[in-house]
């Protein structure tokens, strides 16, 4: 925003909605993480990485691709994958098509962990997110979420272009 643009303050409804959205963003992740740690002994981020790998061809992805879909930095992802390797659930190797990249591969034991963990996770997601909503609200949430993500991406693109 340049200095000549006047601030467009939030009205009462927007302010209330903003506070609700902020509360949701701050509480949902930790709530899912606590439930995942309780019933599976892993973090929600670890589960997200393994679940993403479980859906990939040959259960294999580049670390950079995992970082993108999990919204984690490469350094955080590297630490998490290191922990998963120690448990025998993931292993890494250089990408044979381009040695600059590292592949993460979900092992059979890792796949079994995902399969064993998925039902409780789905129940948690259903209970926390979908059960309180009507079918129409679920569709609205999808549309709203996609629109917000598009706005975030556009703002990020503008920042990158002006840098």
Q: Assign residue 57 the CATH number of its domain.
A: 1.10.10.10
Who contacts 63 (Cβ-Cβ below 8 Å, separation ≥6)?
74, 77, 78, 81, 92, 101, 102, 103, 104
Clarify whether residues 43 and 56 are in a common domain: yes
Query: Contact at 8 Å (CB) between 49 and 81?
Result: yes
Rounded to whole angstroms, the Cα distance separating 132 from 68 reads 29
Clarify whether residues 21 and 97 are in a common domain: yes
In a domain, 162, yes or no: yes
Clarify whether residues 96 and 36 are in a common domain: yes
In a domain, 8, yes or no: no
At 162 the pLDDT is: 74
Query: Contact at 8 Å (CB) between 51 and 118?
Result: yes
Clarify whether residues 47 and 112 are in a common domain: yes
Query: Contact at 8 Å (CB) between 106 and 54?
Result: yes
Clarify whether residues 137 and 81 are in a common domain: no
In a domain, 3, yes or no: no
Clarify whether residues 105 and 140 are in a common domain: no
Q: Number of structural domains, the chain?
A: 2
In a domain, 1, yes or no: no
Per-residue pLDDT of the chain (163 residues; tens, 9 = 90+): 555 689 999 999 999 999 999 999 999 999 999 999 999 999 999 999 999 999 999 999 999 999 999 988 999 999 999 999 999 999 999 999 998 999 999 999 999 999 999 999 999 999 999 999 999 999 999 999 999 999 998 987 777 777 6
| Burial (CB count <10 Å: 0-12, 13-18, 19+), residue 120 | middle
Clarify whether residues 102 and 145 are in a common domain: no
Query: Contact at 8 Å (CB) between 53 and 120?
Result: no
Clarify whether residues 109 and 87 are in a common domain: yes
At 34 the pLDDT is: 98
At 3 the pLDDT is: 55
Assign residue 41 a region (left: φ > 0; alpha: ψ between -120 and 50; beta: otherwise): left
**19-31: string of b/e by CB count within 10 Å (b at 16+)?**
eeeeeeeeeeeee
Clarify whether residues 76 and 101 are in a common domain: yes
In a domain, 6, yes or no: no
At 45 the pLDDT is: 96
Whole domain around residue 161: which residue ranges? 133-163
Clarify whether residues 104 and 151 are in a common domain: no
At 150 the pLDDT is: 94
Clarify whether residues 25 and 62 are in a common domain: yes
Clarify whether residues 76 and 151 are in a common domain: no
């Amino acid at each position: 925003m340049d200095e000549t643009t006047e601030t467009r303050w939030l009205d009462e409804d927007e302010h209330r909605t903003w506070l609700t959205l902020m509360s949701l963003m701050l509480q949902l992740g930790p709530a899912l993480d606590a439930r995942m740690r309780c019933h599976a002994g892993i973090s929600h981020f670890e589960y997200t990485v393994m679940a993403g790998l479980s859906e990939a061809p040959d259960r294999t992805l580049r670390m950079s691709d995992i970082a993108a879909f999990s919204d984690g930095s490469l350094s955080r992802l590297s630490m998490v994958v290191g922990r998963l390797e120690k448990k025998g659930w993931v292993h890494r190797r250089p990408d044979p098509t381009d040695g600059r990249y590292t592949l993460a591969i979900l092992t059979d034991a890792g796949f079994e962990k995902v399969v064993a963990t998925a039902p409780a996770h789905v129940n948690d997601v259903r209970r926390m997110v979908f059960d309180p909503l009507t079918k129409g609200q679920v569709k609205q949430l999808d549309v709203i979420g996609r629109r917000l993500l598009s706005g975030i991406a556009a703002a990020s693109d503008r920042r990158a272009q002006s840098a």
